[in-house]
Amino acid sequence: MPSRAAVAEALSRTSPDLARYVIEYPYGEVFCRPGLDDKQRQLSTIAALAALGYAAPELRVHIDGALNLGASREDIGRRGVGLLPCPVSWTRLAIHPAGHCLSIAASG
């Protein structure tokens, strides 16, 4: 899996403005809002990406981020998935690579 820096560098070669935007907006504007700590933000992001069902690479980056912020694999497996909006998303996870990412995070 490529690192965040490698992804940003590859994207900046293609579109420097887009690369800057995808880092500045979510991390400079959204993640800096009051109300949640960094670990809670990562768990919420994991749930949102898992619900999409097609964002496995991004999900892996945020799982790593949550682990680096002190979230346990149990936090990611239970709390991250517990934030999913509905059982339909749970079914999607069972058959999609994003679900595989969560199972890897939960099992170590």
Cα first-last separation, the chain: 16
Spatial separation of the C-alpha atoms in residues 39 and 54, rounded to whole Å: 22
pTM of the model: 0.63
Rounded to 10 deg, the angle between the 4-14 and 56-68 helix axes is 140
Q: What is the model's pLDDT at position 70?
A: 93
pLDDT (tens digit per residue) in 39-97: 988 888 888 887 777 777 788 888 888 999 999 888 887 766 666 655 555 555 555 55
Helices (H), the chain: 4-14, 16-23, 38-52, 56-68, 73-74, 81-82, 87-95, 97-107
Mean pLDDT, rounded, for 4-32:
79
Distance CA 63, CA 21 (A): 22
Residue 106, pLDDT above cutoff 80: no
What pLDDT is attached to residue 24?
81
Q: Give the pLDDT score at 69.
A: 92
pLDDT of 8: 75
